Amino acid sequence: MRLPLVALLAGALVVPAISLAGAPPAKTAATIDVQVDDYFFRPAYARIEPGDSVTWLWRGQDVHNVTSRKGATEAFASDDLLPGAQFSRSFPTPGRYAYHCTLHPEMRGVVQVGPDTIAPELTKAKLKVGKQSVRVSFALDEASKVSLSVASVKKPKKVLRRAGGKKLEDGRRSLSVKRAGLAPGRYRATLTAKDPGANKDTVKITFKLPAPTGG
């Protein structure tokens, strides 16, 4: 059988192509989409690798922007944009990029570039014993799941009251548990924050419930 020269050349070219296909593919940068809606970002926490990009897609009815917050590894900002718009940014530098919409500051999101190794911080924790409840107020520096548990100092493993466990945005927050049914005595409140990267912070506060005053 005779093959035309062109076919022979084509056959010769196929060989290196096959060996290339067997090599591991070069890692390509990925792009993650984040919806900008009324009045939230979804997903609010995007975890990417260095060099990946995020494209924010404007949905909803209102005007929004994407603006980095204080403490972000690098600053960035979109214009105030209308529904249908989009804004992209690549993130070559590992770090945490918290952002919000300056028109609606309750709209908050985080782009985590590389491993999330920064633990959340619980600060300014204060406990207040009220007539009906025991309330712990605190400051949280990144969105985390926060839970509050109360146990007697004598039996620290037996949790008597529990609250929270849901995601809270950063800022000044509080959680409270019912006081009714807790006997006078010494107790310990444990406040735990867990961020989306499973980093944790814990604060313990010991307090006393006085015996009810007569009359």
Cβ atoms of residues 150 and 167 within 8 Å: no
From residue 81 to residue 110, the character string flagging contacts with Cu ion as x (rule: CB under 5 A) and all else as - is --------------------x-xx------
User: 106, exposed or middle or buried, with CB in 10 Å at 0-12, 13-18, 19+?
Assistant: exposed
Integer Cα distance of 37 and 63 in angstroms: 9
Cβ burial, residue 169 (10 Å; 0-12/13-18/19+): middle
Q: What does the per-residue mask of binding to Cu ion show for 60-79, with x meaning CB under 5 A?
A: ----x---------------
Binding mask 116-155 for Cu ion (x = CB under 5 A): ----------------------------------------
DSSP summary character for residue 64: B
In the complex with Cu ion, the residue whose CB is nearer, 8 or 103, is 103
Q: Look at residues 173, 198, 48, 43 and name the one whose alpha carbon lies nearest to residue 119.
A: 198
CB of 118 to Cu ion, least distance (A): 26
**Do 146 and 193 touch, CB atoms closer than 8 A?**
yes
Q: How far is the CB of 142 from Cu ion (least distance, A)?
A: 20
Q: Which stretch binds Cu ion (CB under 5 A): 56-64, 90-98, 179-187, 198-206?
A: 56-64
Residue 36 or 140 having the CB closest to Cu ion: 36
Nearest-approach distance from CB 185 to Cu ion, in angstroms = 48
Decide whether 40 or 207 has the Cβ nearer to Cu ion: 40
**Residue 89 corresponds to which tokens in the numbers above?**
């940014």
Catalog residues that contact Cu ion under the rule CB under 5 A.
64, 101, 103-104
